[in-house]
Amino acid sequence: MDGQKQLVSILIPNFNNGQASSISGRRNFIDDLFRSLHETLLDDPTPVEIIVVDDGSTDDSLPTCRRWSEKTWGGWRGESPFCKLIEQAHCGVLSIVANKLMEEARGNICCRLDGDIVIHTRNWASILCAAFQAGPPDLGVIGPLQLAPDGFVHAAGDWILHPRGYHHVAQGIAADRVTRSVEVDHVMGCFYCMKREVWNDVGEYDETILRGQTVDFGLQSRLKGWRCISIPTISFTHYHPERQQRDNVADSDAGVFAGLDRFHEKWGFDRLAPDLDEVAERYAGTSLLWNSHVFGPVRSLSTEPRQQRTIEQTAWGTFGNNEQVQQIFNARLSITQEYVLNGKPSAHILHVQCRDGLLCHLISQQGASCTGVDPDESLLEIAQQATSRAQYSGTPPVFLKQDDSGNLPVDDQSFDAVLLFDIIERHPNPVRLLTEAHRVLGEDGVVIIITPPRISPLHPDVDSLHAYRAHELNGQIHYLRLFNVITPAEASPTNEMLFLVARRQ
């Protein structure tokens, strides 16, 4: 692709992006966007066209669009109109407006922009064309670096089919720390750039999906074999936190959940918290499973090499004289007491990946009934051997082998609490694990999660580890819609662990 011979179509759906729609009453979103387009593209040698479809705006954004449509570019672009404005009655469905924009577009590169962004990079159209030209022939979609209003990164691309579910790459770090392009599942629709061939191959945006239509389109393009990257050489700020809630069906809670349900009906998995086993089974052999880190060989749940051990080589042998080990186990016991045993001393508790069973032992000594499951038979043998020597006022702990990481070997609704301690960050499919926890919990049962935090947003997923940041764990539990969070995850002052408590819906 020769950047001098490309026509870049800049496509802007507008609905109430005016100054009157800002929370402060001071930021004129659509005017700021137009000013940034004029400033960054005035000297750009790449031909561009700007097309705006106004979806029946009721604020001052429509007069602003009309005013800009009457302007000319100046510079080398001379007296050519700055933008083309199409006005229509309000439909409230972004996909319909986006499809209208694509019908009007003439470019072989098409960039859809939200009406509340500001672009910072001069000559970005040429940079974009060069990025497409430098990439492989199957590079179909590019997303620039998205900044939050505070200047930090909001997203350098998105992961969707990932153990942590839908989340943004590099969220929260300084923009200058993102220095390279990265292949991702998806880039956000607020500045979505694609080759015309992708649109021709995939077809229109799905007009039955009120929210998340760009995710649907992006995954459809993946399914067709097109690749997607995020690039840091073009940056923009998305000011959506500064806008008022729009009176729009798609933006209502009902509209959001309707979009999620429609997506699940269409794809067979949740858009925000996908079950990766369902994805792998349904889309086996397709390019949707391009990420070998996620859809490679199944990883073992065991944290240690499977080998013959003695009791002295496990936590049983160190607990009595190792202060650090005591602190770890006592902290987990204290959390279990606070959120389970204080309200129900005789609770039935399931400890998933119980390892050598020491915590099950400590819990059972409090009078509760504890069942431990683990995939490592040698550790279970030690757990049974060690607990057989102990005395309990109630039921001794029970230990079961877990043969399948996707299924817990216990009955439905048979526990008051499920403990997921130091496992969710290593489980190949946390959504399946959480779904199983929901299955085995009785009414009002709680799940307690303890996991080491991911300190840096740029910390890579390595081997079997995909550690969470607090907002990612909170988001996955919320999006799954199986639990009500009692205590949201927060990083401890020492960054040693996150813990979250949620009640079964």
Query: What average pLDDT does the segment 171-190 reach?
Result: 95
What count of other Cβ atoms lies within 10 Å of the Cβ of residue 253?
7
Q: What is the arithmetic mean of pLDDT over 89-102?
A: 95
Instruction: Kindly report the backbone phi and psi dihedral angles of residue 216, in degrees, each rounded to the nearest multiple of 5, phi listed first.
Output: -60, -45
The answer to whether residue 482 is domain-embedded is yes
Query: Does residue 420 lie in a domain region?
Result: yes
Long-range contacts from 75-82, C-beta under 8 angstroms, 24+ separation: 75/42, 75/43, 76/43, 76/45, 77/42, 82/34, 82/38, 82/50
User: How many CA atoms, within 13 angstroms, populate the side-chain half-sphere of residue 499?
Assistant: 20
CA-CA distances (angstroms) from residue 287 to 202, 224, 452?
14, 7, 32
pTM: 0.92
Query: Of how many residues is the chain composed?
Result: 505
Confidence of residue 298 (pLDDT cuts 50, 70, 90): low
* Mean pLDDT, range 149-156, rounded to an integer: 97
Domain count of the fold of the chain: 2
Q: Say if residue 238 is in the same domain as residue 276.
A: yes
Q: Are residues 196 and 245 both part of a single domain?
A: yes
306 lies in a domain?
no
> Could you tell me if 497 and 444 are in contact, meaning their C-beta atoms sit under 8 angstroms apart?
no
Q: What is the pLDDT of residues 249-284, one digit of tens each?
A: 777 777 788 889 999 999 999 999 999 999 999 999
CA 289 – CA 280 distance, rounded (Å):
7
- Domain presence at residue 293: no
Q: The CATH number of the domain where 445 resides is what?
A: 3.40.50.150
Q: Does 8 have pLDDT greater than 50?
A: yes
110 forms bridges with which residues in the sheet? 9, 194
C-beta separation of 451 from 490 below 8 A: no
Percent of the chain at pLDDT exceeding 90:
85
Residue 373 belongs to domain spanning: 311-504
Residues 223 and 319 in one domain: no
In-domain check, residue 299: no
Q: What pLDDT, on a 0 to 100 scale, did the predictor assign at position 3?
A: 40
In whole angstroms, what is the distance from residue 119 CA to residue 40 CA? 7
Does residue 294 belong to any structural domain of this protein?
no
Residue 224 and residue 345 share a domain: no
Claim to verify: residue 227 and residue 150 sit in the same structural domain: yes
Count other Cβ atoms within 10 Å, centred on residue 123: 17
Mean pLDDT across the chain: 93
Say yes or no: 259 and 320 in one domain: no
Check whether residue 251 and residue 369 sit in a common domain: no
Q: For 424-434, what is the mean pLDDT?
A: 95
- 179 in Cβ contact with 272 (< 8 Å): no
Q: How far apart are CA 471 and CA 20, in angstroms?
A: 31
Domain boundary among 288, 323, 344: 288
Name 463's Cβ contacts closer than 8 Å, sequence gap at least 6.
299
Q: Residues 66-78: pLDDT tens digits?
A: 999 999 999 999 9
DSSP H helical ranges for 173-236: 196-202, 213-223
Q: How confident is the model at residue 498 (pLDDT cuts 50, 70, 90)?
A: very high
At 258 the pLDDT is: 85
Identify the sign of the CA torsion 403, 408, 414, 416. Answer: positive
Residue 124: how many other CB atoms lie within 10 Å: 26
Domain-embedded: residue 14: yes
Tokens, residue 182 = 């990265």
Per residue in 31-68, pLDDT (tens digit) is 999 999 999 999 999 999 999 999 999 999 999 999 99
SS3 (DSSP) at 434: helix
245 with 392, same domain: the answer is no
Whether the per-residue pLDDT at 459 is higher than 80: the answer is no
- Indicate if 332 and 277 belong to the same structural domain: no
Q: Phi and psi for 419 in degrees, rounded to 5?
A: -100, 120
Task: Examine the domain organization and report whether 267 and 129 are in the same domain.
Answer: yes
Specify if 346 maps to a domain. Answer: yes
Instruction: Evaluate the CA torsion angle 339, 342, 344, 345 in order and state its sign.
Output: positive
Instruction: Give whole-number Cα distances, 52 to 108, 123, 195, 350, 460, in Å.
Output: 18, 21, 19, 56, 39
As a whole number of angstroms, the distance between CA 245 and CA 260 comes to: 19
Domain boundary among 288, 320, 335: 288
- Check pLDDT > 70 for residue 492: no
Residues 375 and 405: beta-carbon distance below 8 Å: yes
**Residues 47 and 127 both lie in one domain:** yes
Pick the range with the lowest mean pLDDT from 17-21, 126-130, 132-136, 319-323.
319-323
Strand partners, 415: 441
Q: Is pLDDT at 353 greater than 50 in this prediction?
A: yes
Quote the pLDDT of residue 250: 73
Q: What is the pLDDT of residue 405?
A: 81
CA distance 66 to 84: 9
Confidence of residue 467 (pLDDT cuts 50, 70, 90): very high
Q: Rounded to whole angstroms, how far apart are CA atoms 446 and 442?
A: 9
CATH number for 266: 3.90.550.10
Task: Kindly state the average pLDDT of the residues 469-478.
Answer: 94
Which amino acid is present at 248? N
- How many C-beta neighbours within 10 Å does residue 464 have? 15
Q: What is the pLDDT of residues 398-408, one digit of tens each?
A: 999 999 888 99
Residue 404 CB neighbours (<10 A): 11
pLDDT at 85 over 60: yes
Same domain, 88 and 122: yes
